[in-house]
Amino acid sequence: MDRISDLERKYVNEALDNAFATSKNSVFNTRLEKEFAQKFGMKYAIGSSNGTATLHTAVAALGIKPGEEVIAPALTMASSSFGIVMAGVNPVFADSDRETFQISAESIEKCITPKTRAVMTVALYGFCPDYDKILEICKKHGLYLIEDNAEAFGARYKGRLVGTFGDISSFSFQASKHLTTGEGGMLLTDNLELADEARRFGCLGYGSVGATKQKITRNDIQDPAYFRHVSVGFNYRMSELQAACALGQLERSDELVANFKACAKIFDEAVQGQNLLIPEKAPEGCDPSYWTYCCVLNTDNPQKDWYAFRDLFQKNGGDPYYAAWKLSYQEPAFQNIVHAQPGIWQSYEPGLCPNSEYLQLRMIQLKTNYWNLDECKAQAEILHKTIDEFQR
Ligand SMILES: Cc1ncc(COP(=O)(O)O)c(C=O)c1O
C-alpha cells in the first residue's frame, strides 16, 4: 500500500492550480474540516499547523488562566504539557497504569487541587485511557476534558471513536502519525463558543472568523474603519497544501489505520508464549489503532538490558526502534520551569510518577508503519529469534 497515493497528489495539484488566490485559499481547508467533523459525528473541526499548536489553542480557548492547573500524564511526548505551559498554565503530572501505559484515573484524582481546571488525557501509542472513569472524575470536580489524540486516530473506546469524549480533542498529522501531511493538526469540539475561540486564537485574533469561518472577508479588510483583532492570537493556520494532502489521507483513513493494525497483529503473534517482552494491554473496551507496537522489557536491569536487546535485534537485521521519551518532568525544559513558573507544587524529583519511571526505562516501541506487510513479517521473525537468543 502507498503511504501517499494518487488521491493526495491529485488534491495537492488542485491546490497548486488554485495558486493561493484569495478567493480559493480555503477550499481544501473547508473540505477537510467538514469531512473530519463528519467522520467523528462532531459539529466543528478546526485545522491547525500542528498538534502542539492545537493543544496550546485548546487550553487557551477553554479560558484557563495563568496560575491555574491542568493535569496531564508524565509519560507522553512533551508537546502535551508544552501546550499547557505555552498558555501560561501549570501542568500537574499524573502517573500511568503499569499494564496499559495510559494515564491512571486514580492518579488523576490525587493531583486535583482547588486550582485544577482540566484533565488532558493522551491516548498513548494508539490505545486509550479509561474514559468512563476519567469523565466521572471530571464531572464530579467540574473539570474540562482535553483529549490529546495525536497518536490515536481511529482508536475506539466502547465502540466510540477516540476524539468524541472530551470538551475538545486534538490530533496531529506529523509524519509518523496515522494520517499525515508532513506537519498538521486538528481540533474537534461540539461546543460552538469553544470552536469560535479556538479559531480566533489560531487565526491572529481576527474578530470575524469563527467555528466554520476561516477567513475575514475582503470587504471588511479593505475598510479603513474596520477593527480586525479582538484578541491577540497566534498564526496556527493550516496551509492549503497541507489541507489538500490531509484530505486525501482522511478519505483513505480506513485503509491506513487497518495497515497499522495489521502490523501490530503480526508483532502480536511474534511475542506469544514468552515473558521477556510484555506488550501493552488494552484497557477494557479499548480497540487500539496501534500508532506503534509497544512492549516493556521485563528486566530488573533495564539500563544494561535495553541496550543489549536493541543491539542484538539490530545485529539480527531488526530495524531501529524507539525508546519511550524521557518523562516530561525529567526533561531539562521542565526542571527549569520549577524555578521559573510560580505556583508549581510538584517536586519533579525521582519517584514523582513511579509507574511511568518504571515503564520509561524499559519501553520498546516497534514501528507499525510498514506499508509492505512482508517487511513487517520479516521484522517479526527477527524479533522472535532475538527474544529466543536473548534468553539463552
Ligand atoms: C502525544 C502527542 N501529543 C502531541 C504531539 C505533537 O504533535 P505535532 O508533532 O503535530 O506538533 C505528538 C507528536 O508529535 C504526540 O505524540
| pLDDT category of residue 388 using cuts at 50, 70 and 90 | very high
Tell me if 118 sits within 8 A of 143, measured CB to CB: yes
SS3 category, 117: strand
Tell which of 222, 252, 282 closes a domain: 252
| pLDDT category of residue 339 using cuts at 50, 70 and 90 | confident
Give the range of the structural domain holding residue 358, as residue numbers without chain letter. 254-391
Q: What is the pLDDT of residues 248-267, one digit of tens each?
A: 999 999 999 999 999 999 99
Per-residue pLDDT averaged across 332-358, rounded? 92
pLDDT of residue 31: 98
Q: Which one has a higher pLDDT value, 221 or 85?
A: 85
Query: How many structural domains does the chain have?
Result: 2
Q: At what angle do helices 192-202 and 53-61 cross, to 10 degrees?
A: 130
Measured from the Cα of 122, ligand 1's closest atom is 1
Measured from the Cα of 79, ligand 1's closest atom is 4
Is the CB–ligand 1 distance for residue 174 below 6 Å? yes
Are residues 248 and 107 located together in one domain of the fold? yes
Tell me if 186 sits within 8 A of 210, measured CB to CB: no
Q: What is the pLDDT of residues 124-151, one digit of tens each?
A: 999 999 999 999 999 999 999 999 999 9
Q: At what angle do helices 373-391 and 302-315 cross, to 10 degrees?
A: 130
Are residues 228 and 127 located together in one domain of the fold? yes
Q: What is the pLDDT of residues 226-255, one digit of tens each?
A: 999 999 999 999 999 999 999 999 999 999
Cell readout for 191 is 461546543
Is the CB–ligand 1 distance for residue 181 below 6 Å? no
Widest CA span of the chain, in angstroms? 79
Of 39, 177, 215, 367, the active-site residue reads: 177
pLDDT of 362 over the 90 cut: yes
Are residues 188 and 238 located together in one domain of the fold? yes
pLDDT of residue 221: 81
Are residues 22 and 142 located together in one domain of the fold? yes
Q: What is the pLDDT of residues 181-191, one digit of tens each?
A: 999 999 999 99
| pLDDT category of residue 341 using cuts at 50, 70 and 90 | confident
To test the pocket of ligand 1, the residue of 55, 59, 70, 79 to mutate (highest count of ligand atoms within 8 Å of its CB) is 79
Query: Would the pTM of this model clear 0.95, i.e. be above it?
Result: yes
Tell which of 191, 225, 252 closes a domain: 252
Is the CB–ligand 1 distance for residue 151 below 6 Å? yes
| pLDDT category of residue 209 using cuts at 50, 70 and 90 | very high
Active site residue 177: yes
Tell which of 204, 225, 252 closes a domain: 252
Q: b/e for 74-109, b at 16 or more Cβ within 10 A?
A: bbbbbbbbbbbbbbebbbbbbbbbeebbbbbbebbb
To test the pocket of ligand 1, the residue of 55, 122, 151, 238 to mutate (highest count of ligand atoms within 8 Å of its CB) is 151
Is the CB–ligand 1 distance for residue 328 below 6 Å? no
Tell me if 233 sits within 8 A of 200, measured CB to CB: yes
What would you report as the CA-atom Rg of the chain, rounded to the nearest whole angstrom?
22
Is the CB–ligand 1 distance for residue 8 below 6 Å? no
22 backbone dihedrals φ, ψ, rounded to 5°: -50, -40
Q: Give the span between the Cα atoms of 73 and 75, in whole angstroms.
A: 5
